[in-house]
Amino acid sequence: MSPTTGQKIPAMTLHIKDEDGIDSFDTAAFFAGKKVVMFSVPGAFTPTCSVKHVPSYLEHYDALKQAGFDAVVCLSVNDAHVMHAWGLDQQVGDKIIMLADQAAAFSQELGLAVHMGDIIGTRAARCALVIEDGVITHSFVEEPAVYEVSSAEHVLANI
């Protein structure tokens, strides 16, 4: 199963970390009334995710805002501490919300959870979702080991 247009974002509590500590992140409340692009990556600090995927969204952040996006979210099956450290490493500042799906429950509910072998286990498939008022309006899911349709450039060209 993959995320599909018209699918509602699952209501769950995930976590984010900032300088003040770890906070709960209520998905239903966050996505309500907003236009958000959320991209998922197999893992923090992994090569394609760090060299291409996050930089793509940083480079095109202003264009995404001009296209009407209220927020940019990066989802990964990692804990909030790792996502925060990766955000610092990638210098995302307040441009990208680094969302931790530590048990892959959110990814599972979205249809993104995939087993990627014994080394990294169950992770989120690489993708980008356009979400308007809590409903997926565009879904760009990558084939395994591919990075093409989930870039910020592709999202901007296809919304």
Active site residue 127: no
Task: Name the catalytic one among 37, 49, 113, 141.
Answer: 49
Classify the phi-psi angles of 5: left when phi > 0, otherwise alpha if psi is within -120 to 50, otherwise beta: beta
Query: Are 95 and 58 spatial neighbours (Cβ–Cβ below 8 Å)?
Result: yes
Report in angstroms the alpha-carbon separations of 127 from 30, 54, 61, 95: 20, 12, 17, 19
Task: Using CB atoms within 10 Å of the CB of residue 118, give its burial: 0 to 12 exposed, 13 to 18 middle, 19+ buried.
Answer: exposed
Active site residues: 49
